[in-house]
Amino acid sequence: MNKIMNSIGVKSRRASEKKIDLDTKNKVLKFYAELLDKENKSILRENSKDINFAKKKGIKENLINRLRIDEAKLKNIKSSIIKISKLKDPVNVILKKWSRPNGWRSEVEMREKRWRSEVEMRGRDERRG
């Protein structure tokens, strides 16, 4: 099991370092949403096994409830994935702009940095050009 998890981690890291285009990302999300429908019964069956295992281990009921997946939860997950696939790509988009009374103008922009995105705040004094 340890070997498998390490392999997944290495592959995930490599994949996260590559930038994919918006169309590819949306195709993957659409496929994932369709897969949830196709594998609905097996997902629910395996989740039931997880719930039973958690109960045997004495896990608290509130944590078991967070683990539990039913038809409604699967439907909400699929709906969320579809909504995400319809969002515009936020990389290199200015999220917010504002100016201070003293002429200082600020922008918050989503920038791509290697394998992750981060929000960067920049400011410049409009009085100086």
Do 79 and 34 fall into the same domain?
yes
Query: CA 72 to CA 58: how far, in whole Å?
Result: 26
Tens-digit pLDDT profile for residues 4-50: 888 888 888 887 777 777 888 889 999 999 999 999 999 999 999 99
Asked if the structure places residue 3 within a domain, the reply is: no
Task: Kindly tell me the burial class for residue 26, based on how many C-beta atoms sit within 10 Å of its own C-beta (0-12, 13-18, 19 or more).
Answer: middle
Do 79 and 98 fall into the same domain?
no
DSSP conformational letter for 103: S
Do 25 and 63 fall into the same domain?
yes
Q: Residue for token digits 């590819």?
A: 24
Say which residues have a Cβ less than 8 Å from residue 28's Cβ, sequence separation at least 6: 20
Asked if the structure places residue 36 within a domain, the reply is: yes
Asked if the structure places residue 8 within a domain, the reply is: no
Specify the pLDDT at position 104: 77
Do 37 and 73 fall into the same domain?
yes
Domain that holds residue 113: 93-128
Share of the chain above pLDDT 90, in %: 43
Q: And the tokens for 1? A: 């099991």
Overall average pLDDT of the 109-127 stretch: 49
Q: How many residues comprise the chain? A: 129
pTM of the full structure: 0.59
Instruction: Give the confidence band of 118 by pLDDT, cuts at 50, 70, 90.
Output: very low
